[in-house]
Amino acid sequence: MRLTQFTDYALRLLIYAATNGERLVTIEEASDVYGISRNHLMKVANLLTREGYLRAVRGRSGGLTLARPATEINLGAVVRATEPDFAMVECFAADNRCRITPGCRLKTILNRALKAFIAELDQHSLADLAVDPALFGIEHSA
């Protein structure tokens, strides 16, 4: 099982926003911290905002923040929202042309494995991914 780069970046952006608490973060900041494309992160941020995971504030001093508490952001839901499909092998696809599909058991086994993978993610929230803010050079005042 391999998640797309889009999902990876979505999880990273959510982690970064969660680590910053209520402070607005910018795409530029997150891009610099992770060393990833600003354009990619903009697309990710747009989807996460549309899906209600991030709140975007426009303007000169705008940025992004979590739209709800990290404890209410389910990892399984985020992955389902960001992955285009879970077609791990050809027989998962609508245009399946694999000749052994009628007698093959691989699809059934992989489908169970996929369900177990998603079920595990469903047991966790963004709060479970909280990291030490110092990893990002963030100092929170007490």
Number of domains in the chain: 1
Domain assignment of residue 142, yes or no? no
Smallest CA-to-CA distance from 122 within 74, 51, 68, 73 is with 74
pLDDT for 141 equals 43
Element (H, E) at 66: strand 63-66
Q: What is the CA radius of gyration of the chain?
A: 18
Domain assignment of residue 141, yes or no? no
Each of the 142 residues of the chain gets a pLDDT tens digit; together they read 789 999 999 999 999 999 998 999 999 999 999 999 999 999 999 999 999 999 999 988 899 999 999 999 999 999 999 998 888 888 888 888 889 988 889 989 999 999 999 999 999 999 999 776 666 665 544 3
pLDDT for 82 equals 97
**Residue for token pair 């209520």:** 22
Query: 3-state DSSP call for residue 47?
Result: helix
Domain assignment of residue 111, yes or no? yes
Domain assignment of residue 105, yes or no? yes
Domain containing 118 equals 5-136
- The CATH number linked to 131 is 1.10.10.10
